[in-house]
A and B are shown apart, each in its own frame.
Chain A
């Protein structure tokens, strides 16, 4: 158990819908990262937050957004969902100055 929690574990929805994925980092970790793992794109970095502020952005679609709340949990919002958004979404957290990211179990999103 990495100490990073993600909910829900599985999500099945239809095209055009909007979903929210939630992540709670390890206690004390200020950095949260979101990654997408799909068959055609592999493992890709989406976005990073540090202590409530956006720190870095990767290949995140405009239909996707994220935020980190004062209690440091983070949410990834995916809207106008398309079939190609079906993927495993990972959240990871890390401590500043430390060289390891701890991954949550992931949320499996299926868009029908």
Chain B
């Protein structure tokens, strides 16, 4: 069974600074997807960034980037130029590749989350 571990329950960062959130996972699958979701106080789940395991290049979305280390089963999220609106719970998630339908049409397995507070 796959597991996702986020070892930092809470983190704090000053506005405009950079912060890195850690995530490790355990799987025997070779083809899978990794995600970071953000959950602000509104409770809405918002996809921040995704990474396909077969891609060696790290994904980047504006101020958000990941450091994907497949051999180490590590998937950290870096937020640059932190903004007050980045204050949220961040969840790392894993999804197996779907052998039947292709792509990622499978359940998400979530970590326990990291609560990030951006301080003014």
Contact = CB atoms under 8 A, between A and B. Distances in A.
A94 B110 contact: no
B91 A94 contact: no
A45 B105 contact: no
Contacts of A96: 101-103, 105
B-side binding surface: helix, strand, loop or mixed? loop
A52 interface: no
Interface stretch (B17-25, B41-49, B65-73): B41-49
Contact of A48 (B50, B107, B112): B107
Interface residues on B, range: 20 to 34
A98 B103 contact: yes
Interface in B75-120: 91, 95, 98, 101-110, 112-113
Interface residues on A, range: 20 to 34
A100 B52 CA distance: 11
Nearest to B111: A42
A40 to B, nearest CB: 11
A45 B107 contact: yes
A98 B68 CA distance: 21
Given A99-B50, A99-B95, A103-B45, A42 B103 contact: no
Contacts of B113: 42-43
A-side binding surface: helix, strand, loop or mixed? strand
A106 interface: yes
Contact of A100 (B43, B50, B106): B50
A100 B110 contact: no
B43 A105 contact: yes
A99 B33 contact: yes
Interface of B: 33, 43-47, 50, 52, 91, 95, 98, 101-110, 112-113
Interface of A: 2, 31, 33, 35, 42-45, 48, 50, 56, 58, 88, 90, 92, 94, 96-103, 105-106, 108
Nearest 3 pairs of A and B residues by beta carbon: A99-B104, A97-B103, A103-B45
